[in-house]
Amino acid sequence: MWTRTCVGCDRPGPVICLSCTGEGALRPLGEPVDFVADGRVLDVYDSGLGRAVAVAKGKPDRRTASVLARTLRQRACQDPEVFGWLLTATAVSWIPSPWPRRLRRGFDLPALLAAELGSVSRVGRARPLLHVSPGVRQAATSRRGRQDNLRGRIRARDRGVEGVVVLVDDVVTTGATASACARELLGTRVETVRLITLCQAGDAAHRESGHGVQML
C-alpha cells in the first residue's frame, strides 16, 4: 500500500510533519551576522527541517519547497515581533541562488520563502534587490574561501530602496553570504537589514566540511 511519508524523518504523515517543521517558534540566530541588525531562524540545519531543505533543493522538489515556504510564513505571522518587521519593512527580498542552480531546480527556494513572507508584509510582495553571479561551489570552501569567493559577485539591483529591508534565505552557514548581501544593501539607501532564515548550520566542523550544505 502506498503511504506518504515526511521528507524530513520518513515517518508516515504529510510532506513535512509537524516535528520536522521546527516545532516551535522562530528564534534569534545562534551567531550574529555582520551588517545584519537582527535575525530569526526556525531550526538548526542538522534536523528534520534541514533534511527537508536538502530534499527540496537537491532532488529538487518544488512541493516540499512550497510547504517550507508556507510554514515559514505561518511562523512569522505567529511571532508578534517578526510580524512587526514585515509590517514596517520597506521591502522584503531574498538572497538569490546563482542562475545555473535556479535553472537546474526550476525554482529558487529563497525566492519562494520571500514571496510567502512578502505576501503578508505591508508592501504585499517580495522584490528582487540583489544579484548574485555564479562562483565556486560554496559548500566546498572554507570560511576564508567563501569570503574570497563572494568578492565582487553580489550587487544591488535597485539602489532606490530606503528604510528597513527584510532579507530571506533558506540556510545560513558561516553567514558570509548574508553578511555580504546586507553590506551591499547598506551601501545603497537601505538603513537596516533584518534576516529571516529556515535553518542555521551551527557546528563549526559541520560547516567547514560542508556536508550537504549548499548556500548558493
175 binds Zn ion (CB under 5 A): no
For residues 17 and 199, which CB has a smaller minimum distance to Zn ion in the complex? 17
- Whose grid coordinates read 527540496? 56
DSSP at 197:
E
Q: Which is nearer to Zn ion, 6 or 41 (CB)?
A: 6
- Which positions from 38 to 77 touch Zn ion by CB under 5 A, shown as an x/- string? ----------x-----------------------------
Read off the DSSP letter of residue 5.
Answer: B
Nearest CB to Zn ion, comparing residues 9 and 136: 9
Cβ 167 vs Cβ 182: under 8 Å: yes
Question: Judged by CB under 5 A, does residue 6 bind Zn ion?
Answer: yes
17: contact with Zn ion by CB under 5 A: yes
Q: Give 9 or 123: the residue with its C-beta nearer to Zn ion.
A: 9
3-state secondary structure of 213: coil
The distance of closest approach from Cβ of residue 10 to Zn ion in the complex, given in angstroms and rounded to an integer, is: 7
Return the residue of 15, 20, 182, 196 that touches Zn ion, per CB under 5 A. Answer: 20
Q: Which one, 8 or 118, has the nearer CB to Zn ion?
A: 8
Nearer to Zn ion by Cβ, of 6 and 190: the residue is: 6
C-alpha grid cell for residue 178? Answer: 548574508
Name the residue among 148, 216, 180, 188 with its Cα closest to residue 34: 180
Minimum Å gap between C-beta 68 and Zn ion is 12
- Cβ at position 180, least distance to Zn ion in Å: 33
Q: With beta carbons less than 8 A apart as the criterion, state whether 157 and 129 touch.
A: yes
**C-alpha cell of 162?**
530606503
Task: Say if residues 182 and 195 touch (Cβ distance below 8 Å).
Answer: yes
**Least distance from C-beta 6 to Zn ion, angstroms?**
3
Q: Distance (Å, rounded) from C-alpha 96 to C-alpha 93?
A: 9
Distance CA 112, CA 76 (A): 15
Please report, as ranges, the residues that interact with Zn ion according to CB under 5 A.
6, 8-9, 17, 20, 48
